[in-house]
Structure 1
């Protein structure tokens, strides 16, 4: 079913059950559906047509969840935008996605001024003569930016204006819009870093997102009335997916506007969360490190999901002896989840493998470069064939074609092996890509940025292990003759221009490079720095 149908079914079956729960606000399924319908009518009133793309630049909030379904009801494609992006990063996504409308809010102005960020990213926005009919050189298809909340902002439409336009759209018009959608239509366009400097938009259909996360709900044993805590941001499938699972099963999606460990732990305990979906060990570790933490206080918790190395998963399982820890293998291109562990498997199996493919999904290991299938036990590229795979990269037919084998196998660029029972072991990445606390970071993007510094002649970026984030970027920089710059200055240069998680944690100035016949070898650079830094504390 479509996302809109999914919400309608939940509201019909369990209208009074909690749907979205935040510390200071909650919506039951009836209210979630009503608010989604109101915002959908507002989008239609602003001229959103079927297939148009709507940007969602919001912190986690009830309205952030609502807008994903509002876009579906209006026949639009939701484009959740990373709130960590800086002003130099936003214009690419806005233009590449062809966004017609961007919706933001003043909910987290004390932490991040999102409207101010848009003003900085889009010259002319603050001075626009008609906020409902923007004409911006840097975003030619963008027609308006809507700001939910009580703070008027120059060049932005307010929530009152959106509400007024919603009133002018009849319920029958909304029903016809929703009925006109097809399962194969795009529901989401999610941007993920590729091996090039710019992120790529992954097209995810209604069928893919609903089918995939219905199966995940089954694996987790999630049911009506359960409460799933998901702290990840709603521009990431580690939160969007669990939200879909909750609506599918009429469970409550529990989250917060930002992650603070003490506040998060109090929320989990107070809400008696039955399922914990931190997904990434840094979040779980910070939760467990809270002073006075007592696993006995999590009396309702049954399942926790983390993705990480076995030793770390083993430590976290030991800290939560009454909760079953599961792991998975997934990607944005794979709809979020490709393989999953099982609740009835033993501990060693659950922490050393990523489980078996979800129903309807096939996974094989192939020889990189030739795509020849490899037998169980041999390492190679993880390849996936499934109805829940993404529909291709937006505006890039060449990259889409290169990502797929002729027989429909998606080349993940990741390295792994299958055991005799069909369980997957993830062994790293074949492609040049870093995973920083669960976020993809392209070394090419950092190299391109640092190359714009006037003192920099040449730069290469590698990943080095980190006890909290799994991996962090490290930059090796050769300065121009006669130029000067300290590592601290180069880190500050990056911090001002890109999202914090992308900023190199280490910078080393070099005057020579390890070379192959024609290329700089990153392996020796990484190995030397790892040896210098020593064992992780």
Structure 2
């Protein structure tokens, strides 16, 4: 049979169609205003260890004050503001304050060092850097001094240099601010000089189709690319994902993932704000802090990668924490072993946890499982496309669409596809084709029911003696071994075959198996050439 095109579209019952296909035409500023109007006294942002609890009305008021401060500094629509901070309360406020006046928020990886910071600031044309004190043993002021040696003594009004010609100011999110920087409190005080009328005019000039966010993601040759995402894209992607989780204003989400990533700021922050739910972020991640937050704040939902869930379940004090309030959540970023999913459902009571797949260029989610999908589907697939998203699998060599059951590159099209890479038109054209399809670079297969399974990366394929092997496929199989907690599969150079299959294996607590035991487990169940020749036991 010749397949000209094979595109999956998901249809819902009448009630779901009305809600799931709804489109929100807001900017970040008008979205928060609308939620504050609907749920003024419901908790919006909670930091128990700080004793901070903001209602949606209070969060909206803080965002307006900070937005006025930005206007007082001369920030205009379209200006780029780089935010380099952990999951502190100011991060959330600044996201909406910048969006309220049409400025573009550039999210900076909290772990970046001098060369990476310089690249992010230069490539994004950031005119303002907002930074916190640091993370772990990294002092951000010291890192910035490596980029701008004169920073501590420079005037706070203009930091432009040959390396960073657009950078004007640094705002320090804390007290006391170092020389050469304004403090967050200074920013708020400056806002007292700006009228409500001026703020309203700036907000009217912002459009849902304007770029709201630039997030850096990896590229060919390791050169990061700035993904441009509009207000409309990130708000609607968050809304659809949270709707699939059946979110409401009664939900309380623990957010241990970083805000600088789409998982944290789009799915976490905006997923809550689109539904009036409460955000309970972790400033910096630790398993104990996660358990404490879920238990003390009666969280109903948790977002994270599978290792976060597994670490929580394996924590020696897990039984001390109350998990009965949990209902749902998202696991993304890696496959989840079925044993771990069963424990999440049974011991964490999160019976409606879903699996999501996507990438920053898709704002970010493309497919997601349903809350009532069988456990086997939730661990073996990444679900079906979100409403408004078209997905197809193509043969990487020919570009022809693949039928169900055949692996190929997964491509997506819809209103969530990025505006483009900032100042990289050629990279944009290589990633989004003339028909609007986003080429993810991931390999996947679709089953007869429209569920997708990721099989590997197009550029991370192992070629063993001419045989193509996808690491993710072997990883997913090995994770069915009851003695394996985590596994990473990769290619190892070999003089005879070109590459052989290697695996790093972390055993479950009661694993007790050897490398030879694992190979015997593979025999007769996967092709011999896919069985790892090298197995490293790691802790």
TM-score by length of 2: 0.81
Any idea what SS the aligned residue of 1:78 has? strand
Q: Which residue of 2 aligns with 1:76?
A: 103
Correspondence for 1:120: 146
Task: Say whether residues 1:58 and 2:60 are aligned partners.
Answer: no
CA apart distance, 1:403: 0.8
Q: Which residue of the other structure, out of 127, 142, 145, is the alignment partner of 1:100?
A: 127
Give 1:358's match in structure 2, choosing from 386, 399, 404: 386
Partner of 1:480: none
How many residues matched? 463
SS at the partner of 1:246?
A: helix
Question: How far, CA to CA, are the matches of 2:485 and 2:378 in structure 1?
Answer: 21
Change (3 A) 1:294 1:30: same
Q: Distance in 2 between matches of 1:273 and 1:93?
A: 35
Offset at 1:314? 3.4
The match for 2:254 among 229, 232, 236 is 229
Question: CA offset at residue 313 of structure 1?
Answer: 4.1
1:534 aligns to 2:504 (yes or no): no
Equivalent-residue separation in structure 1 for 2:64 and 2:485 (angstroms):
41
| Structure 2 residue aligned with 1:215 | 240
Query: Quick check: 108-117 or 334-343, which moved more?
Result: 108-117
Following TM superposition, by how much is the alpha carbon of 1:149 offset from its aligned partner in structure 2, in angstroms? 1.5
| Alignment match, 1:501 | none
3-state secondary structure, aligned to 2:337 = helix
In structure 2, the CA distance between the partners of 1:201 and 1:433, relative to structure 1 (3 Å rule), is farther
Q: Against the structure 1 CA distance between its residues 122 and 534, is the aligned structure 2 distance closer, same or farther, given a 3 Å change threshold?
A: same
Q: 1:311 to 1:225 in 2, by over 3 A?
A: closer
Give 1:270's aligned residue: 296
In the aligned structure 2, how far is the partner of 1:327 from the partner of 1:350?
6
SS of match in other structure, 1:88: helix
User: CA separation in 2, counterparts of 1:468 and 1:347?
Assistant: 18
Q: Distance in 1 between matches of 2:335 and 2:86?
A: 32
Structure 1 residue aligned with 2:216 = 191
Q: Give the corresponding residue for 1:42.
A: 69
Residue 314 of structure 1 contacts residue 351 of structure 1 at CA under 8 Å; is this kept in 2?
no
Answer with 201-210 or 41-50: which moved more. Answer: 41-50
Distance 1:310-1:208 versus aligned 2 partners, 3 A rule:
closer
CA contact (8 A) 1:365 1:374 kept: yes
RMSD in angstroms over aligned alpha carbons?
A: 2.6
Structure 1 residue 384: deviation in Å? 0.4
Aligned CA distance change for structure 1 residues 121 and 283 (closer, same or farther; 3 Å)? farther
**Which residue does 1:459 correspond to in 2?**
none
Structure 1 residues 153 and 113, CA gap change in structure 2 (3 angstroms): same
> Structure 1 residues 183 and 152, CA, compared in 2 at 3 Å: closer, same or farther?
closer
Secondary structure of 1:117's counterpart equals helix
User: Where does 1:435-474 land on structure 2 (aligned, <5 Å)?
Assistant: 471=488
Q: Is 1:195–1:432's contact at 8 Å kept on the other side of the alignment?
A: no
Moved more, 1-10 or 20-29: 20-29
In structure 1, the gaps of 5 or more residues are: 435-464, 477-511
Give runs of aligned pairs for residues 408-447 of structure 1, distance below 5 A: 408-432=436-460
Paired with 1:77 and 1:54, the residues of 2 have a C-alpha distance of 6
Comparing 179-188 and 293-302, the one that deviates more:
293-302
Aligned-pair distance for 1:192?
Answer: 0.9
Q: Which residue in 2 is equivalent to 1:503?
A: none
Instruction: State how far apart, in whole Å, the 2-side matches of 1:297 and 1:320 are.
Output: 14
Q: Could you tell me which residue of structure 1 aligns to residue 20 of structure 2? A: none
Give, in whole Å, the separation in 2 of the partners of 1:472 and 1:39: 47
SS at match of 1:297: coil
Decide which of 114, 120, 139 is 2:164's aligned counterpart: 139
Residue 205 and residue 470 in structure 1: after superposition, are their counterparts in 2 closer, same or farther (change >3 A)? farther
Paired with 2:299 and 2:228, the residues of 1 have a C-alpha distance of 32
Tell me how far apart the structure 1 counterparts of residues 216 and 122 of structure 2 sit (CA, whole Å).
12
2:276 to 243, 250, 263: 250
**Are the counterparts in 2 of residues 295 and 320 from structure 1 also a CA contact under 8 Å?**
no
1:137–1:123: structure 2 CA closer, same or farther, 3 Å change rule? farther
Distance 1:267 1:41 in 2: 33
Q: In the alignment, does 2:115 pair up with 1:88?
A: yes
Q: Does 1:205 align with 2:230?
A: yes
Q: Deviations over 1:309-356 (max 9, x none)?
A: 666243232343232231011110111111110012111112111111
Alpha-carbon deviation of 1:525?
8.0
Distance 2:45 2:239 in 1: 18
| Equivalent position of 1:454 in the other structure | none
1:341 aligns with 2:341: no
Tell me which moved more, 178-187 or 300-309: 300-309
* Equivalent pair of 2:28/2:235 in contact (CA under 8 Å): yes
**TM-score normalised per structure 1:** 0.81
1:28-77 deviation digits (Å, cap 9, x = unpaired): 11111111111111111111111011011111011111111011012100
CA distance in 2, matches of 1:472, 1:43: 48
Instruction: Give how far 1:177 is off.
Output: 0.8
